[in-house]
Structure 1
Amino acid sequence: MMPRLLTAVAALLLSTASAWAARDTITIGMVLEPPNLDPTAGAAAAIDEVVYANVFQGLTRFGPDGSIRPDLAKSWDVSEDGTRYTFHLQEGVTFQDGSRFDAKDVKFSLDRARADDSVNAQKQLFAGIEQVTVIDPLTVEVTLKAPDGALPFKLAWGDAVMVAPESAADNATHPIGTGPFMFKDWAKGDHVTLSAYEGYWGQPPKLREATFRFISDPTAAFSALMAGDVDAFPNYPAPETAAQFKADPRFKLIIGSTEGETILAMNERNPPLNDTRVRAAIAHALNRADIINGAMFGYGTPIGTHFAPHNPAYVDLTALSNYDPAESKALLKEAGVSDLTLRMALPPPSYARRSGEIIQAELAAVGIQTKITNMEWADWLERVFKGHDFDLTVVSHTEPMDIGIYARPDYYFGYNSPKFDAVMQELEGTSDPDKRTELLQQAQRILAEDYANAFLFQLPKIGVANAKIEGLWKNAPTQANDLTQVYWDE
């Protein structure tokens, strides 16, 4: 009997050890499925949410506190005139296909991003680069057209990650980077799975495998967490049920901030939206408190311009577009506008759909009718973002400190202001922190006074996770689910 008992005990111990060892995998919930997996060839935030810091890396990167940190560049020097950055690269770095990463790949990546035929969604990040020169395999020099103290910040974006000439063309469907996780599989409509890269040059991740499951329906997201089908939802889409997780010891509720300025964007190419008075009328018709309470269940910070309130340079300009239906009606009358009907295109996130319904009712109260079209993400990107086929849309801009998009006349909402452009051009060549703050505040005020869009609220980061998971970001200084420091604490 004794040998059988020992065998049973041994089997139990082995089973327990196996269960323990199995906690090196994680399933992450995401609302949106990325249209592709190449951050250098797409504007969707969902791309970076899967691959940023996990599969792909840049010369620099965002830390969880928003700081700019070394990544593939272990250090850099700046010339006295501020026009030359010399980057010193990490040693022993390989891409996940085993090929070596060196200065030639840096030159290829940056030249590709700024090329005339570049499809990079943030091509303007690289517009100030004059030349990229390989000094030796571990040293590369970037020469700028003018001094730019923000270059390390720009190179931390997902759009600036390093890619290899041998694999860049296939990164949309089979991404190959230098990060700690490598692509394993993509079941369209369901999930993407990454696995740890054994040849990673830095500190190995504690997770062996990570699966990103796509769950757009808020009710389904709640059910998936409760059932344990997903371990964490870093950007939880159902704020109305967040309190239930806070009261449940099996979970942790992680409330932070994002870079997501949530706006009612107006297509200024379409009359009468090219009239500042009409845009002002729309802005004054909207009650931010109603939208935040109704769409976000109280989570979210009102904004009056395109800038994050947690940024030290932020100016509270909400009073310029305060809720005033009488002012809205007066402005519409002054502009000679009546019987106005506008098309409102809404992407899938619940904040957009819920906000859109509230906005529709509030605009109707001042005499503006709206026809809502609910779109899938790929359709929104194609028809609204690229095709400019819309009047109104609700979307969160989650890129870090992206006020510069208003200096792009080809951008989807069509804002065009020489005064704003001049401020941004001066900012580009300014490295003094106090002067940069002054210029950023000027830019914020111009947008608010022009009613460039209707600025609603700063998107909160509402995360829900198994209580035993550690290392998830609380805040979102960029659009990422960085798993490099994530582990199970059991």
Structure 2
Amino acid sequence: MISPAKRRLLAGLAGGAAMTLVLTGCVQSQREDGGDTGGDTAAPSDVDSTFTFAASSDPSGLDPAFASDGETFRISRNIFEGLIGVEPGTADPAPLLAESWETTEDGTSTTFTLKSDVTFHDGTPFDAEAVCANFDRWYNWEGLTATESLSYYYGNLFGGYAGDENALYESCSADDELTATVNLTRAFSGFIPSLSLPAFAMQSPTALEEYSADEVGGSEEAPEYSEYAEGHPVGTGPFTFDSWAPGESVVLQAYPEYWGEQGQVQEVVFRVIDDPTARRQALEAGDVDGYDLVAPADTAALDEAGFNVMQRDPFTILYLGLNQTVEELQDVRVRQAITHAIDREALVTQVLPEGTEVASQFIPPVVNGYNDAVTDYEYDPDRARELLAEAGYEDGFEIDFNYPVNVSRPYMPNPEQIFSALSGQLEAVGITVNPVADEWTDYLDLMRGSDDHGVHLLGWTGDYNDTDNFVGVFFGSPSNEWGFENDELFTALSDARQLPDPEEAGTAYQEINEQIAQFVPGVPLAHPAPSLAFDSRVTSYPASPVNDEVYNLIELSE
């Protein structure tokens, strides 16, 4: 009989056998109902039940609704659950706290049937009233809580807040204890898959009120989080929050009343180690059980030393952003010149992990709407110099180049090396680079909360398999990161996200990707394939292209 923990991910998937990456031998095997990983997994009482994972940075906070970074979401996925989950090993949506749902033909109303007998960690029942409380919370944000720096995902995907004529959300009703209906002002083809984002996880209405979750301070550039976000997150997931020592670790404990099977891991320690070399050394010393974002130079050596090394399927985009509030970058010829100045093939070959693909557009090839014939700007330094001269910069110009330090991201495993490679290529065509480096959390706040930056390194790990999750998030509305107004592009993206037919939507997004290529808001660089490494005692890890990895599914041998 398949365990409740596995059923949690498989419920409602027609004929879907779970796919999990078994680390012994680094191969992928299929679990049949009642199957195992080959007999190497020990009983829960026979293992060290503490799993220590080396995180590359602190979380930005503990409230996923106010987060957009991977390290916060890594922790959130173990504390919180959403109405919608992700089919194992894919980016496709699957039932989670909602066992099923039905959407009206016009796409504006969805009724969710909820899982029964689920409680939040504080004992609050999970029911339709709790669902509506979460939707209404997001919709009614105002002031600092309704800024790009904090409510990044809600603002981008739901169009606006209470009183905003562009708001997507209209209302939520608790039809009975386990039935909730969410009404939208217009169709949104990505509505269901978007709910798999940790930003839209269900949180205890009791705890949100008790710990003043929406009382944030500071500024958009440097927000100060609420008491809730700093130490009282309450969800329905397999683990509860225990402690957070900033700069050191976050500790979670197994939730004894979890509705599913808890598994072998009873304590999770996210140990903050920002340097990739130090993370490798911690694994080698036995101080951690695993880590993500393995440096490209370390994968072969770790594999040869007997550690379990694996790669996620690439579902990422690394890009060079071009902030058009900078005067020089307002000229499309300058933006084209920068694109021609960059040797993406050399970047992939020399700096990025094995398995990385060169990017020609801002979505991976597996996403609907990928345009095989999109305008591409080949590496051509001479053409770059010609375009700069045409734009009036025959002697070049100076510009800030922002990049993060002491962090690794799935789309950007080694930002300092990437910066070094790209800055040299820009200097070669006459663009003088002024390096501006920041720690990760400050860097992200700067990109989202201010337009005070120049060209910059950033990227994205797709959250679900929908084109809007890439180009819609980037270019669907004005933002501090990109600094441009383009009503034609904004309208095209708004129209495309309302198309329910996948084929029709795919055609629309192909045209949009060409429109983006002509406009050149940035330079798509690569689709990196991030690597993970684990101690040999980790016999199975639920690897996901969208990082939907919940640690009650980890299997250990000792």
TM-score (norm 1): 0.91
The residue that corresponds to 1:126 in the other structure is 158
Give the conservation status (yes or no) of the 8 Å contact 2:358–2:526: yes
- Whether 2:236 is the aligned partner of 1:212: answer no
- State the distance in 2 between where 1:425 and 1:290 align: 36
The residue that corresponds to 1:241 in the other structure is 298
Opposite residue 139 of structure 1, the aligned amino acid is T
The residue that corresponds to 2:234 in the other structure is 176
- State the distance in 1 between where 2:98 and 2:342 align: 46
Ranges in structure 1 where 5+ consecutive residues have no aligned partner: 1-16
Opposite residue 178 of structure 2, the aligned amino acid is L
- State the distance in 2 between where 1:197 and 1:19 align: 15
Give the Å deviation of 1:264. 0.7
Opposite residue 109 of structure 1, the aligned amino acid is N
Give the conservation status (yes or no) of the 8 Å contact 1:240–1:296: no
Give the conservation status (yes or no) of the 8 Å contact 1:294–1:358: no
Opposite residue 185 of structure 1, the aligned amino acid is S
The residue that corresponds to 2:12 in the other structure is none
Give the Å deviation of 1:289. 1.8
The residue that corresponds to 1:30 in the other structure is 55
- Whether 2:521 is the aligned partner of 1:458: answer no
Give the conservation status (yes or no) of the 8 Å contact 1:407–1:416: no
Number of residues of Structure 1 aligned to a counterpart in Structure 2: 470
Which shifted more, 113-122 or 172-181? 113-122
- State the distance in 2 between where 1:320 and 1:206 align: 49
Match 2:279 to one of 215, 221, 224: 221
- State the distance in 2 between where 1:202 and 1:19 align: 15
Give the conservation status (yes or no) of the 8 Å contact 1:309–1:458: no
Give the Å deviation of 1:299. 4.3
Opposite residue 157 of structure 1, the aligned amino acid is L
- Whether 2:361 is the aligned partner of 1:291: answer no
Give the Å deviation of 1:184. 0.9
TM-score (norm 2): 0.80
The residue that corresponds to 2:403 in the other structure is 346
Give the Å deviation of 1:316. 4.1
- Give a deviation string over 1:385-430, Cα, whole Å, max 9, x none: 2112110111122242321120120241124322222221211221
The residue that corresponds to 1:367 in the other structure is 430
- Give a deviation string over 1:433-474, Cα, whole Å, max 9, x none: 101111221222211221110111112121111233244243
Opposite residue 498 of structure 2, the aligned amino acid is G
The residue that corresponds to 1:447 in the other structure is 516
Match 2:186 to one of 146, 155, 172: 146
- State the distance in 1 between where 2:351 and 2:373 align: 22
The residue that corresponds to 1:357 in the other structure is 420
- State the distance in 1 between where 2:83 and 2:517 align: 35
Give the Å deviation of 1:301. 1.0
Distance 1:258 1:37, change over 3 A: farther
- Whether 2:109 is the aligned partner of 1:84: answer yes
- Give a deviation string over 1:276-324, Cα, whole Å, max 9, x none: 1111111110001221233225441111111022324323467612111
Give the conservation status (yes or no) of the 8 Å contact 1:264–1:453: yes
- Give a deviation string over 1:177-197, Cα, whole Å, max 9, x none: 110111111111011111110
- State the distance in 1 between where 2:550 and 2:517 align: 33
- State the distance in 2 between where 1:446 and 1:489 align: 52
Opposite residue 397 of structure 2, the aligned amino acid is L
- State the distance in 1 between where 2:250 and 2:75 align: 8
Give the Å deviation of 1:38. 1.2
Aligned partner of residue 146 in structure 1, secondary structure: coil
- What is the root-mean-square deviation in Å for CA atoms of aligned residues? 2.0
Give the Å deviation of 1:42. 2.1
Give the Å deviation of 1:78. 1.5
- State the distance in 2 between where 1:25 and 1:166 align: 30
Which shifted more, 370-379 or 296-305? 296-305
Which shifted more, 458-467 or 430-439? 458-467
Give the conservation status (yes or no) of the 8 Å contact 2:401–2:456: yes
- State the distance in 2 between where 1:297 and 1:432 align: 36
Task: Please list, as runs of the form range in 1=range in 2, the aligned pairs for 1:71-470 lying within 5 A after superposition.
Answer: 71-117=96-142, 118=146, 119-123=150-154, 124-127=156-159, 128-168=168-208, 169=213, 170-173=227-230, 174-236=232-294, 238-249=295-306, 251-316=307-372, 320-337=376-393, 338-348=395-405, 349=408, 350-400=413-463, 401-405=469-473, 406-470=475-539
- State the distance in 2 between where 1:29 and 1:258 align: 21
- Give a deviation string over 1:105-131, Cα, whole Å, max 9, x none: 111111212224134211232342221
Give the Å deviation of 1:487. 1.5
- Whether 2:83 is the aligned partner of 1:59: answer yes
Distance 1:470 1:85, change over 3 A: farther
Distance 1:441 1:217, change over 3 A: same
Give the conservation status (yes or no) of the 8 Å contact 1:261–1:455: yes
Give the Å deviation of 1:482. 2.4
- Whether 2:550 is the aligned partner of 1:482: answer yes
Aligned partner of residue 199 in structure 1, secondary structure: coil
Give the conservation status (yes or no) of the 8 Å contact 1:42–1:120: yes
Aligned partner of residue 376 in structure 2, secondary structure: helix
Give the conservation status (yes or no) of the 8 Å contact 2:47–2:556: no
- State the distance in 2 between where 1:403 and 1:94 align: 36
Give the Å deviation of 1:329. 0.5
